[in-house]
Amino acid sequence: MKKDLGVHPYLFPMPVLMIATYGENDKVDVMNMAWGGICDNNKVALNITESHKTSKNIKERGAFTISIADIDHLEESDFFGTATGNTMEDKFERTNMHAIKSTRVDAPIIEEYPITLECKVIKAEKDVSGFRVVGEIVNVIADEKVLDENGKVDPTKLNAFIFDQFQNGYYAIGKKVGEAWKSGKKFM
């Protein structure tokens, strides 16, 4: 029997995305967010509260990076979603993580995360869903340790985790259970 639960943002799994930007004086800011994702072959969409430091930085710099959070840096990643750059001047520094400047966009790359999408803003506006940012992916960089023998990202090596909207938890992912565009072929 099914039970009505009301209106909730119950979509699962939700990615844990680390959005990195530069603020004033090239100060690194990182935000943990789950309300974003791929919206085209070369585009990402983010729905951010406009009062976030990240939103201000995106408007001013026109660029950001998205990294996939990994279990090795779960505590730092959670902290980036708890603390606000609006009131904590040393937010990034407290984690002892490291950033380098992207050569393609005006945003930092967090060295500890295994994969990063470098994005330039192509649209940023308030709409019915809040402050919506669409970014064009201009490059993807990955640590060699997450690549397979053919140079492709191996999801089982990412050590990524997902966000649980139901009970506010994080869950490890990585076990392959099927083959896209093949597992359901028997119904064709």
- The type of residue at 40 is D
* Residues 6 or more apart whose Cβ sits within 8 Å of residue 158: 68, 70, 114, 115, 146, 174
The whole-number pLDDT of residue 28 equals 98
In this prediction the pTM is 0.94
What domains appear along the chain, each with residue ranges and CATH number? 14-187 (2.30.110.10)
pLDDT tens digits, the chain, 188 residues: what are they?
999 989 988 888 889 999 999 999 999 999 999 889 999 999 999 999 999 999 999 999 999 999 999 999 999 999 999 999 999 999 999 999 999 999 999 999 999 999 999 999 999 999 887 899 999 999 999 999 999 999 999 999 999 999 998 999 999 987 888 999 999 999 99
Instruction: Using alpha carbons, list the distances in angstroms from residue 161 to 27, 32, 52, 157, 164.
Output: 27, 12, 23, 12, 10
The whole-number pLDDT of residue 2 equals 95
